[in-house]
Structure 1
Amino acid sequence: MRAVYLVTLFVSSVTYAIAAEVAVPMNTVNEQGTVKAIGSIKITELPNGLVFTPVLEGLPAGEHGFHLHENPNCEAKEKEGKMTPALAAGGHYDPKATKKHAGPEGSGHLGDLPKLVVNTNGKVTESVMAPRLRMEDVKGRALVIHAGGDNYSDQPEPLGGGKGRIACGIIGN
């Protein structure tokens, strides 16, 4: 009887993971809009949050801020007379209007995701976990990768100091 229970538990877990998964195509962005496909990020829902598994290449080496943005749009948009890459994605996802940047496990907005680390070959494949998010939070939004790292604070620079948006992908409904 115990063997049947373990097999049923395993099959149920596998079914759950497969049912709660989405792949997000990612592209580099610039002032003209979407530029070039660089791979995808798989989002998997687990009982303790979302796992983001990137398979990306062609990015600058180092740490990069990684955020969930409110709008499903990666187009450039004008700000202060200048076209800004992926600005149509809007701000970081902040459904409770905390207006606070405090990291993926902090008490700030929900758009903070763990930073991505790109290797010297321009690739990133290491998964990151966002424990406060569920699949319903991310659907119909955008994933954005920033030029710089992220300190998960609004000091000394706003929004973690991630700088410009270099890659973007739209999460389907």
Structure 2
Amino acid sequence: MKSLLTLALLAVSASASAISVELLQAGEAGSGATLGRVEISDSPYGLVFSPQLHGLPPGLHGFHLHQNASCAPQLRDGKPVAALAAGGHYDPAASNRHGAPWGDGHLGDLPPLYVDAAGNASQPVLAPRLKLADLAGRALMLHAGGDNHADQPAALGGGGARIGCGVIP
């Protein structure tokens, strides 16, 4: 009896220390096909984002936690923009600066996501300043192009369009 109770408590504890987010293609007409999942788990060093994604352009991609739990397109200057309803990068301290995941910019700044030549992403990234409690009601965003973790020479790390998005429950 005691061992069953211990196993049940461990299962509840394990599920409370990790979440899974499905990423979908982000487009001007709305969400498209699934790109896979990102498992997010707590560690002594911060949150670990472990992707199992496919069908992506090879190279480094900007990867961020965005303010709103929506991947819907919205209009900007009269034109639809993919996943714009997710808002900007999560920035509860109102730093209004893009920075390194370990620095003092937006709290939603994550390390870039590496996609291999076959279009798959499986390398985990660490977000040392985030906690699981920060994630609820947000969106996980994947951008075209890299991220230099600065606002120079281009705003928001120079990343491109929003190509993948997942709502975090």
Give the equivalent residue in structure 1 for 2:129: 132
Report whether the alignment pairs 1:79 with 2:76.
yes
Distance 1:72 1:15 in 2: 25
Q: Could you tell me which amino acid in structure 2 is paired with residue 27 of structure 1?
A: L
| Structure 1 position 18, deviation (Å) | 4.2
SS at match of 2:134: helix
Report whether the alignment pairs 1:164 with 2:161.
yes
Q: Could you tell me which amino acid in structure 1 is paired with residue 114 of structure 2?
A: V
State whether residues 17 and 45 of structure 1, in contact with CA within 8 Å, keep that contact through their aligned partners in structure 2: no
SS at match of 2:68: coil
Give the equivalent residue in structure 1 for 2:44: 47
| Structure 1 position 19, deviation (Å) | 2.7
SS at match of 1:155: coil
Report % sequence identity. 50
| Structure 1 position 38, deviation (Å) | 1.0
Deviations 1:6-31 (A, max 9, x none): xx9xxx99975543100001101110
| Structure 1 position 41, deviation (Å) | 0.2
Distance 1:19 1:27 in 2: 24
5+ long unaligned stretches in structure 2: 1-5
Distance 1:83 1:18 in 2: 37
SS at match of 1:112: coil
State whether residues 38 and 57 of structure 1, in contact with CA within 8 Å, keep that contact through their aligned partners in structure 2: yes
Instruction: Return the TM-score normalized by structure 2.
Output: 0.91
| Structure 1 position 45, deviation (Å) | 1.0
Give the equivalent residue in structure 1 for 2:117: 120
SS at match of 1:145: strand
5+ long unaligned stretches in structure 1: 1-7
State whether residues 145 and 165 of structure 1, in contact with CA within 8 Å, keep that contact through their aligned partners in structure 2: yes
| CA gap 1:13/1:107 in 2 versus in 1, 3 angstroms | farther
SS at match of 1:160: helix
Deviations 1:150-171 (A, max 9, x none): 0000000000001110000000
Distance 1:140 1:131 in 2: 20
Instruction: Return the TM-score normalized by structure 1.
Output: 0.89
Give the equivalent residue in structure 2 for 1:34: 31
Report whether the alignment pairs 1:93 with 2:119.
no
SS at match of 1:114: coil
Distance 2:13 2:57 in 1: 35
Please tell me the root mean square deviation across aligned C-alpha atoms, in Å. Answer: 1.6
